[in-house]
Amino acid sequence: WPEWNVWPVARIWTVVLLLGTCLLYCARVAMPICAVSMAERFNWSKRESGMVLGSFFWGYCFTQVFGGYVSDRVGGEKVLLLSAAAWGSMTAFTPILAHFCSQPILSMTLARFLMGLLQGVHYPSLASLCSQKVVESERGFLMSTVGSGSYLGTLVIGGAGSLMLDLYGWESVFYVSGLLSVLWAYCMWKYLLKGEGPIITLESLGSGGPQSKLSKRHWLRLFKQPAVCAVIVTHLCTASTFFTLLSWLPTFFKDTFPDAKGWVFNVIPWLVAIPSSLFSGCLSDHLISQGFDTASVRKLMQFFSMGVSSLFTLLLCGKTTFPWAVAFVSATMGLTTFSHSGVSVNVQDLAPSCAGALFGVMNTCGAFSGVLMVYFSGYLIEATGSWASVFALITTVNLLGLCTFLAFAEARRVDIDSSKGRHHNIHI
């Protein structure tokens, strides 16, 4: 591995990982975009469409911890490469599966579940890669840049996917996003890893590579640390509110402003999210390099992400016009991205030796609570007949997570035996 502080190499990797995350989301969002056309083609009810779309998250929950654990052992880049080749192929084969199976509803639910399984390793292996190869003062930039790939991917597939859907039919969306992902994996393997085999052997899993083996006792001690629990709870809150907004906003706009143009509210919030995510990363790294306390900077970012964004969510509860509603949603989405340089990077401050696996634990909790909160929001809308209840719920969950983080978060390492490293951290 080249040294990361060599400017061009580090920047090339940043761009490559950004592209990979962008394609990850193109492949992921292909299904929701084509869902309506597929439902017409195969005569699915709303409930059946929901079943196909929801099955992704159940798969997504299962491989998070495993992906992080393997990445901590053998290196995140190998895991990223292998998984991208797999979910890329899976996406490209989706239309073939749909047409050649007698029960498309079953094959599609299974395909989405597998997609979730394969994509679940992406973020934990990124966290692992970042904690092993990147210095503390540059992590915010890398994670927020690569994180903004998710908004970029949603944007690209929202625009280009809708066009392809109208011109060439829904199959084309899967073929294009799937093949591009496989191409990305091939180029990364050929030019960046110089064709080294991404072979993960059982010996390398056992030997623990750069990381020492983590015992059960070690994990128990980690989870007893208030800072670690705070990170998990905060990420759980921020992920579940994000999933809820992501899932229900299009319906909110359709219900509240039936005449509004779809692309306006599907595109503008993400256009705001990309620069704000990049800005938060640059800002946090700048503050740390200026000598501000790392923990305080992480807390400040999280305050913007969950505190200030909640104000804009609350503003949606009242009567608004369409332009104002779009503005409030864009502000909420833009500010939410600040957690990329808050809680998402804080894992790497706390436990570099097992950041991948720990991030996997956080993401699993986030995905589970996200699924539950999306369901619960649907129930709330039906029960109360108003959207205010959902926005109030989102605000409550956000503030809960924020208070936890502000109270307990730290930025010192907690994964090494504290008796050995204690005297380094005494502040007089």
At residue 428, the pLDDT reads 27
Residue 96 vs residue 136, higher pLDDT? 96
**C-alpha radius of gyration, the chain, whole number:** 21
Q: How far is CA 185 from CA 23, 35, 54, 121, 131, in A?
A: 10, 27, 27, 15, 22
Three-state DSSP at 197 gives: coil
At residue 213, the pLDDT reads 52
Residue with tokens 């946090």: 284
Whole-number Å distance between alpha carbons of 36 and 49: 8
For the stretch 348-395, pLDDT in tens is: 889 888 888 898 999 899 988 887 888 788 888 878 888 999 999 999
> What percent of the chain is predicted at pLDDT more than 70?
89
pLDDT band for 211, please (50, 70, 90 cuts): very low
> Residue 365 corresponds to which tokens in the numbers above?
């909790």
At residue 292, the pLDDT reads 92
Sequence-ordered alpha helix ranges (H) in 43-63: 46-62
Stretch among 73-77, 90-94, 121-125 having the lowest mean pLDDT:
73-77
For the stretch 91-115, pLDDT in tens is: 999 999 999 888 888 999 999 999 9
Asked if residue 38 lies in contact with residue 44, where contact means CB atoms within 8 angstroms, the answer is yes
Whole-number Å distance between alpha carbons of 246 and 268: 13
Q: At residue 237, does pLDDT exceed 80?
A: yes
Backbone dihedral angles phi then psi of residue 293, each to the nearest 5 degrees: -65, 130
Which residues have CB under 8 Å from 97's CB, separation 6+? 104, 107, 108, 111
Sequence-ordered alpha helix ranges (H) in 157-215: 162-168, 170-187, 202-207
> Residue 47 corresponds to which tokens in the numbers above?
């409930």
Residue 124 vs residue 46, higher pLDDT? 124
Q: What is the pTM of this model?
A: 0.78
Asked if residue 91 lies in contact with residue 30, where contact means CB atoms within 8 angstroms, the answer is yes
Asked if residue 231 lies in contact with residue 362, where contact means CB atoms within 8 angstroms, the answer is yes
> Residue 296 corresponds to which tokens in the numbers above?
């305080």
Q: At residue 11, does pLDDT exceed 60?
A: yes
Q: At residue 4, does pLDDT exceed 60?
A: no
Give the residue among 389, 379, 394, 285 at the shortest CA–CA distance from 332. Answer: 394
CATH dotted code for 216-414: 1.20.1250.20
pLDDT band for 426, please (50, 70, 90 cuts): very low
Whole-number Å distance between alpha carbons of 345 and 134: 11
Class of domain 1-195: mainly alpha
Whole-number Å distance between alpha carbons of 389 and 351: 38
Q: Would you list the domain boundaries of the chain? A: 1-195, 216-414
Whole-number Å distance between alpha carbons of 15 and 20: 9
Q: How many CA atoms lie within 13 A of 221 on its CB side?
A: 14
Residue 137 vs residue 112, higher pLDDT? 112
For the stretch 212-228, pLDDT in tens is: 455 777 888 889 999 99
At residue 210, the pLDDT reads 45
Q: Would you say the CATH fold of 216-414 matches that of 1-195?
A: yes
The DSSP output letter for 411 is: -
**CA-based angle 176:239:416, to the nearest 5?**
110
Whole-number Å distance between alpha carbons of 405 and 261: 38
pLDDT band for 420, please (50, 70, 90 cuts): very low
Backbone dihedral angles phi then psi of residue 278, each to the nearest 5 degrees: -65, -40
Which residues have CB under 8 Å from 324's CB, separation 6+? none
Whole-number Å distance between alpha carbons of 70 and 388: 43
